[in-house]
Amino acid sequence: MVSFSNFLNGLTIALQPGNLIYCLIGVLTGTLVGVLPGIGPTAAVALLLPTTYHLSPISAIIMMCGIAYGAMYGGSTTSILVNVPGEAATVVTCLDGYQMAKKGRAGPALGISALGSFIAGTLSVIGLMLLAPMLSRAALMFGSPEYFSLMLMSLVIVTYLVRGSMLKALIMVGLGLILGTVGMDVISGRERFTYGQAALRDGFGIISVVVGLFGVAEVLETLGFTVKKKVLTKIKGYLPTRKDWKDSAGAITRGTFLGFILGIFPGISPMIPTFLCYGIEKRLSKHPEKFGTGVIEGVAGPESCNNAAAVGSFVPLLSLGIPSNAFNAVLLGALMIYGLQPGPLLIKTNPDLFWGVVASMYIGNAMLLVLNLPLIPLWVRVLRIPYTLLSILIIIFCFLGSYSLKNNIYDPIITFAFGVFGYLIKKRGFEPAPLILAFVLGPLIEVAFRQSMIASDGSFMVFVNRPISAFFILMALGIILTAVVKKRTFSEAIEGED
């Protein structure tokens, strides 16, 4: 009952005219970002962040969160209509969504996508209401050693769950930690790795780094991209039939639960829950051979899953101060810029912000349900714009967003440098997400580590003498050991075949 009363208070905050407008701006921007390949919600938030400094933190965070779950709606539209995923999490939607569109059932595919996403988003908001305060109360027992161990375990999970090489992910994590040390030492106040450059005394700005890695690099990677598939312009019958609902009900329920649970864990790519959900639905289906030919369960399950995962990822961010993906790492940086510290005290010291944001997620999902289907013809027209023109506009906004943060000419230069760097590492199979997470968590890990060392007179035993800290350390070691054993077993199997 306490959570429900707090939610009602948050609803009064979210329903204020100003917050409603920014929620609408967020979900519409997120949908557009999801429709357009080449720029994701992470870069979009980084670009919009400098424009939000005159807003209250509540309004700004409401808008940014709207971008996150709005992008999932937009990504499904292009996946179904033109077989081009706007977001990584909507890749699996192409398998059956586009096949349904080719059969003339684009309307029901889009309808079940929107309705399933709304149901999943609503249930996930309830889960966020219940789980985040519980974790926050438990986290009040945390000290510096526990936070160090928890963040260390998060980075290990990130490297373990990457799609590519774990070694490459470790390299990215190490580079992110190094980049996080540039600037003034937070404890001693001395300069580190600035090489006499005044522009580096404050370190690399998170906006410049993120816009470069996720904005400029994505544009460089998708230059020459064109939508070659036939775009459907006449779509009828958005509402799913009774049979469609019967076929989709179980998929929506399972996708919601799976997405929310997996979204909580750090480092899990949005693609993992959706592909896992698709595999489960195919395994449970009475006609698995029809998957990939245009069955509605293949759309309903993954679409519910990716929206639930988007909401679930806010649980560790708001309750523990631990970002579970690159987008939440940027959001963590934004909260710190506003003078807020995500973690166990956020809900206690800033209840209006927490409950206002939670309530806005429900309102934002309702907005998306109402607006998503009528706006589909508009998104189709947007896809017809030559991507060369769009890429030029995106690049301009990237540099303007970077410059407007401090009005410093060095920031666009840093953005360009990280854009080229991001493009090159992607060509070599490196993922930028571990770098961003390590870059944001690096200073926090360093402070927690040094505070622990000062409190224990330099004894490393402080991390194993405390039960919670020891548990996180053992989990991290267990994950590393599992990865080593898995790689050795795989190598032995290959040698055996030879």
Burial of 240 (0-12, 13-18, 19+ CB in 10 A): buried
* For range 316-334, the mean pLDDT: 79
State yes or no: pLDDT of 231 exceeds 50.
Answer: no
Distance CA 280, CA 291 (A): 12
Amino acid letter at 232?
Answer: L
* For range 384-410, the mean pLDDT: 75
> Helical H runs in 373-409?
376-383, 387-406
Structural domain including 158 reads: 2-497
Question: What's the pLDDT score for residue 56?
Answer: 86
pLDDT category of residue 201 using cuts at 50, 70 and 90: confident
Distance CA 263, CA 309 (A): 4
Domain total for the chain?
1
Distance CA 75, CA 73 (A): 6
Of 167-181, 389-403, 431-445, minimum mean pLDDT range? 389-403
State yes or no: pLDDT of 271 exceeds 80.
Answer: no
Q: What are the pLDDT digits (tens) for 175-189?
A: 988 988 888 887 777
State yes or no: pLDDT of 460 exceeds 80.
Answer: yes
**Angle in degrees, CA 352, 354, 355, rounded to 5:** 70
Are 86 and 78 contacting, i.e. CB atoms less than 8 angstroms apart? Answer: yes
* For range 255-271, the mean pLDDT: 78
Are 395 and 44 contacting, i.e. CB atoms less than 8 angstroms apart? Answer: no
Bridge partners for 192 per DSSP: 183
State yes or no: pLDDT of 233 exceeds 60.
Answer: no
Are 89 and 75 contacting, i.e. CB atoms less than 8 angstroms apart? Answer: yes
Q: What are the pLDDT digits (tens) for 21-37?
A: 999 999 988 888 877 76
Distance CA 405, CA 199 (A): 13
Q: Average per-residue pLDDT in the chain? A: 80
